[in-house]
Amino acid sequence: MAQVNRLTYGSSMDNQYAQMVDLGLGEYITQVPSTRYPVYTRGNAGEVWPEVAYPLTITLTRKAGEIASAQAAINAGVITPKDIKDGPTCFGGVFAGYMYLNLSFGRMIAIRTPGTTIEKSDATYYGSEHEAPEYIPNKQDKSVIASLRILRYGWKMLHTSDLPVLAQDRNLVSQWQSRLPEILDSPDEVLVEAMREIMEPANLLFTHHLDITGQAGGAVQLLSTICEERLGDRSIALTLLGGLGDVDSAEPSFALWKLGRMAANSNELTSIFNAGLSDLDVRLRQSDIAQEFIEHFENFLNVFGSRGPNEWETACETWGTNPASVLTLIDRMRLTDEQNSPSVRSQELSKKREEATRNARKELKGLGSWLFEKALHSSILFSQARERSKTTIVDLIHVARLITRELAIRTAEQRNNAELIDLWFILENELDEFIDNPAAFDEKIRERKRVRGELSNRIPPFIFEGQIPDPDTWPLRSEIKINHNAHAHPGQILKGYGGCPGVAEGTAKVITDPSDPKDLGPGDILIAPLTDPSWTPLFVPAEAVVVNVGGQMSHAVIVSRELGMPCVVAVKDATEIIQDGTRVRVNGSTGEITILENPES
């Protein structure tokens, strides 16, 4: 295995590390884009890191992320160290506070991968095909040696029967979880040491996750190609991967459904919920009738407490640190019809998957049959493993979150008018000085908070090439006015990518914040800008989901396939074009959304 941490990138490397740079609005964390790989996208990155990143998180984790990205790519044989001599941002990076992935680098891998095209790669991983600039051929992108290595890697993927690394990684996280009480009871210096120390296992786990993700994408692309070329319908692959079970990203929905049924089937609990969400947690805990519910609720928080919006960012709240957000989701669940049960939907999709598998096996013979079986097995194995490896990382991040929050609480107590979040505006190399004299950083923290607020109020470009536009040119979120003339009209068909087969009709509910699901319920179609795990429970009460961006390996696709609901991703500006209250038809096989009737009609 190559020693990536010994790589020599090039003379530009130092400039590409995350630094505080004046962005016109003030100084904030950013990097210098790669010149060799100049196109960047928020596709997929926006799911993992939807908000402006915090300086502490980026400067603490950037080395582990860069090494993991390089190691996974080298393991797959797609690159050699010379391909990344331009610097760490060849994989992606944080620009003006927002996380991006490098689309140019992904396209180079597509060029080197036999049987793959740039279009398929864009759709699978990024959902960037509608906005990405046209690919400009580069002779350095091609490599016969890399292509041969990828074939060898793919052969190994097709013959993988199990992944013991998943259990090894889980054991590593369990060790950190068992250490947590002792760490939290230690002096400040030990907390800082632990924050740095945990980056080593994070690097290892992220390498494994990227390795598995690459193989999952390769397997799904191969299966889709077989369905397209041998069976005449690429969308058959979506059915073949539906209702698999044991998919970690979907598990919270099943658990929340049970809690929702408990509330719906109890007159006493219904009365408590009907009294409103304010102080709901307190009222439930004070009620003798609700004790069984609270016991199950606490078990949910224990198992899924690391999940939530922006869960890769240690500065952000999760379901475990903010249980009230979970009760909001349960409130939606309890009002949902029994027919929306994720178990029932998943079982129906499982039956369709089994039928589609039988039909495919009847059609395919000889080498085609052998390759189909291998691709199907690998797609299932690595798709499930991808979600499992992601959960393992998120659980480790939660350990880091709790350690960092303890230090944040302590240092905030030493400063007047301090906030818990203040610690995350400190750079990693400032930590030691900060814990010695937190008040000395008051002015820096105030200024960095101001700049982050400015960036948060603006919409970053989904795609950029070369240099990211100056943030002061980005549109302000508050000034985005609804153009009623831009609304889709009855009969119009919007096109995206099918994520989960099936057809559903309903009323569009445009939701932009998972913590505010409004009155989303039965008969509604969820229209969202993008989705991360905090959105998963909102899938359950809806009939289908439509997402502005996202590739075919995105969170929305994987979860909808498991919950058995039609899904279409990469529908550009769906949350703006589709008016709230519009009657729509969603076809998860063709990726089409048909506008049936506008609310004013």
CA distance linking residue 568 with residue 369, whole number of Å = 29
pLDDT of the residue at 9 = 40
Most confident range (mean pLDDT) of 171-185, 300-314, 580-594 is 171-185
Residue with tokens 């390759």: 371
pLDDT tens readout for residues 414-448: 888 899 999 999 999 999 999 999 999 999 999 99
**1 pLDDT above the threshold of 50:** no
The answer to whether 487 and 577 are in contact (CB under 8 A) is yes
What Rg do the C-alpha atoms of the chain give, in angstroms? 24
Say which residue the tokens 């996208």 belong to.
41
- Which DSSP string corresponds to 398-414? HHHHHHHHHHHHHHHHT
Q: Give mean pLDDT, residues 63-84.
A: 88
Predicted pLDDT at 123:
72
Which range of 125-129, 348-352, 395-399, 561-565 scores highest in mean pLDDT? It is: 395-399
What does the pLDDT read at residue 10? 42
The per-residue pLDDT for 8 is 43
Q: Per-residue DSSP letters for 284-317?
A: HHH-STTHHHHHHHHHHHHHHTT-STTTT-TTS-
Alpha carbon separation from 560 to 343, 349, 549 (Å, rounded): 12, 10, 15
The CA-to-CA distance between both ends of the chain, in Å, stands at 63
Residue 482 pLDDT: 54
**From the centroid of its chain, how far is CA 132?**
20
Q: What is the pLDDT of residue 512?
A: 85
Kindly report the pTM of this predicted structure.
Answer: 0.89
Query: What pLDDT, on a 0 to 100 scale, did the predictor assign at position 530?
Result: 79
386-395, 441-450, 470-479, 526-535: least confidently modelled range: 526-535
Hey, is 369 helix, strand or coil? helix
Tell whether the model's pLDDT for residue 543 goes beyond 60.
yes
Q: What residues contact 99, with CB distance under 8 A and at least 6 apart?
A: 42, 45, 46, 48, 49, 53, 92, 93
Buried b (16+ CB within 10 A) or exposed e, 546-571: bbbbbbbbbbbbbbbbbbbbbbbbbb
pLDDT at 195 exceeding the cut of 60: yes
SS3 357: helix
556 falls in which pLDDT band (50, 70, 90)?
confident
Question: Cβ-count burial of 473 within 10 angstroms (0-12 exposed, 13-18 middle, 19+ buried)?
Answer: exposed
**In whole angstroms, what is the distance from residue 449 CA to residue 457 CA?**
12
Q: What is the mean pLDDT of residues 568-591?
A: 91
